[in-house]
Structure 1
């Protein structure tokens, strides 16, 4: 004869209970929002958990060594963490051809002027170069340039190319001037037939040339 089934205990060990709760939660797991990710990134920098911080970026694996080198200095890490935290109240969410900002009423769609998007893309690139954030600068290059470069090689080119500083200076000045927007990209004239050129890829502007 089979033995009668024993009733299950009304209690469970803590570890078993925790596992049960965790498994139950996987069906409706909460994906961290922009504020949570940004705050986690700042906290990882403050605690010198650089691998964790890098995992929260969109940069490619080959850019990690430059990231680790840049944030090896505690003062640089702390400054970046403060910068991220200060930006949280003005957080934006971006996608190809779409930007949302956080307002008192909640997230709102930003309707931009045609020239705003390429101007912002170029500014982000120049800011990344100025901060030595080569992984971000690399991510803002056009597809052909990203195929040719890595963040490390981009850093070396800017370091050893004699005209790099002058080109960045001209590009900064071009940000204040008119921009010509076309169906495929945008141009910031910088005189003598030269321009900073951006292309549209999957709805996003990316830097193609600084002449």
Structure 2
């Protein structure tokens, strides 16, 4: 658990991420958290890979002293891969969507081969759902809402190519995104222990959820505002 309220420690298996909210360029709490984590790992005979990186999301970036772990400098980068999703310091999703398109296109080749070998439409559709569609929709609720128009067209072209190969109509990415957002929002509403549960608050009449205030288009297109709008339909 983080020592400072402005920090959050995200743990999954052997992967640990420290996220800090830095106000007025005061990095003291964040640096303390990283130092405490390094000391705890050392005391508990755990080895930290210092190759791990830091991404700075602040709009106004200034030169600052490097962060050290075991006297080694932690590199600051423009993007990193977190649980399969490419996150950039500008919080744009072009890099991730291009990676998704590239991987999905690679799986179009075995789909074509299956058709040449005489596989029926049912097998082709299952192969598409298990390989290509699962790639296109991986963590889609996190990134698709803020994708650029060109990125969405590239994703759509993959679906159109698959339709030509299988000979069957496939659901558009937008429909899959909407469906997954709605299902995830419904799960968050039912799960009171979920961190995002409190964001789904009913209005006084109890029929609609309170809309989330957003000053930027990026926040407006993110999952929680989208989920609330879908639940209110």
Pair in the same fold by TM > 0.5: no
TM-score, structure 2 as length reference: 0.22
Bigger Rg, which one: 1
| Higher strand content, 1 or 2 | 1
TM normalised by structure 1 equals: 0.23
